[in-house]
A and B are shown apart, each in its own frame.
Chain A
Amino acid sequence: MIRAAVLCALLLTFASAAGAVEPSEVLDDPMLESRARALSTHIRCLVCQNQSIDDSNADLARDLRILVRERLVAGDSDQGVLDYLSSRYGDFVLLKPPIKPETWALWFGPIGIFLLAFAGAAFYFRGRRHVVPQGGDQLAADEARQLSQLLGEDDEQQP
């Protein structure tokens, strides 16, 4: 019983998504196939938009998986395949958007907002350090008298 549970847990631990690749699509060359699998995880299925073509069962995803494999067999580099697709479907087909002027806001926006917030916070706290309590740090005369009086009384109460 325990052995079965441990086995179950182990199997689940090392389980990985099998993807949507159908046996008939798999290439004979394991090197090319592993490149195709890796590439497919970076290509968006345009029908079910938040899935890669490696995950998606959509008909179009299947077409694109086969296309990726055809291009690889034809001798395209990985980048060549991605370029081939993005020249037809646009950058949207790439799950990781390329860095170029149109996407600078996307890539560098978060760090920009962080720097702005940091600068704002620094400015705020610097401003606060210069706020001097009213009356300066010297005790006024009556305050000094009051203090010594209090201290004096305290002294008298000591045994």
Chain B
Amino acid sequence: MLARRVLFLVPLSAFLVLAVYLWAGLQNDPRIIPSALIDQPVPEFELPPLVPDKLGFGNKDLNGQVFIVNIFASWCLPCRVEHPLLMKLAEENIVPVYGINWKDRPADALAWLAELGDPYARIGQDPDNNAGVDFGVYGVPETYIIDAEGRIRFKQVGPIFPEILEETILPLIRELQG
């Protein structure tokens, strides 16, 4: 008889479970798409240099140590937002930052770097979204952390903010650098 009395709780609790899941789902940002490349090797690519006195790079160059690969464009406003943080990473020599200049005009990109400073150890230019497609880039900026074995370990979609840098990116880099 008691079993019968509490039976009404079954649909109620089912509803509550569902409600909690859906509520949690609402907190996700639909614009952030999980990368299919996490823990996968860097896709094959080879990009020509943007700056005359700096090399371009390809997947073969991303090996032997931890790298940050940052996808940027001069037309991209959030890139401006995260730029000081990349400058800081480069100045403090924490990790080499390689840049991919995505869907941009070289002259614009050079002017942008002249204005804001150039944090990149190497820059490859990708005006036609060749490497971008292989990385699954769908907007700028995007930032990848590559481990010493050349695997992608982390992807940041959108600009790096100080909290993300301090709480996620730097600890992961330290862990990977061992």
Contacts and interface: CB of A to CB of B under 8 A. Distances in A.
Contacts of A120: 10-11
Contact of A86 (B11, B36, B128): B36
B134 A90 contact: no
B117 interface: no
Interface in A95-133: 116, 120
B33 A89 contact: yes
Interface in A50-70: 59-60, 63-64, 67
A49 B139 CA distance: 13
Nearest to A87: B36
Interface in B72-125: 103
A3 interface: no
B11 A88 contact: no
A90 B35 CA distance: 6
B47 interface: no
B11 A89 contact: no
Interface string B28-39: 001101111100
Interface of B: 10-11, 14, 30-31, 33-37, 43, 103, 128-129, 132-136, 138-139
A88 B36 contact: yes
Contacts of A86: 36
Contacts of A63: 128-129, 132-133
B18 to A, nearest CB: 9
Which of A63, A86, A91 has the largest count of B CB atoms less than 10 A from its CB?
A63
Given A86-B36, A87-B36, A90-B33, A47 B133 contact: no
If over half of B's interface residues share one DSSP class (helix, strand or loop), that class is named, otherwise mixed; here it is: loop
Nearest to B132: A63
14 contacts: A46-B33, A59-B103, A60-B138, A60-B139, A63-B128, A63-B129, A63-B132, A88-B43, A88-B135, A88-B136, A89-B33, A89-B36, A90-B35, A92-B34
Interface residues of A, number: 17
Interface string A63-91: 11001000000000000000000111111
Nearest to A67: B133
A120 B128 CA distance: 57
A46 B80 CA distance: 23
A92 B37 contact: no
Interface string A15-37: 00000000000000000000000
Which of B30, B34, B128, B136 has the largest count of A CB atoms less than 10 A from its CB?
B136
B77 to A, nearest CB: 16
A88 B139 contact: no
Contacts of B43: 88
B37 A88 contact: yes
Contacts of B128: 63
Nearest to A123: B7
A56 B161 CA distance: 30
A46 B35 contact: no
List 4 tightest A-B contacts by C-beta distance, closest first. Answer: A90-B36, A46-B138, A88-B136, A89-B136
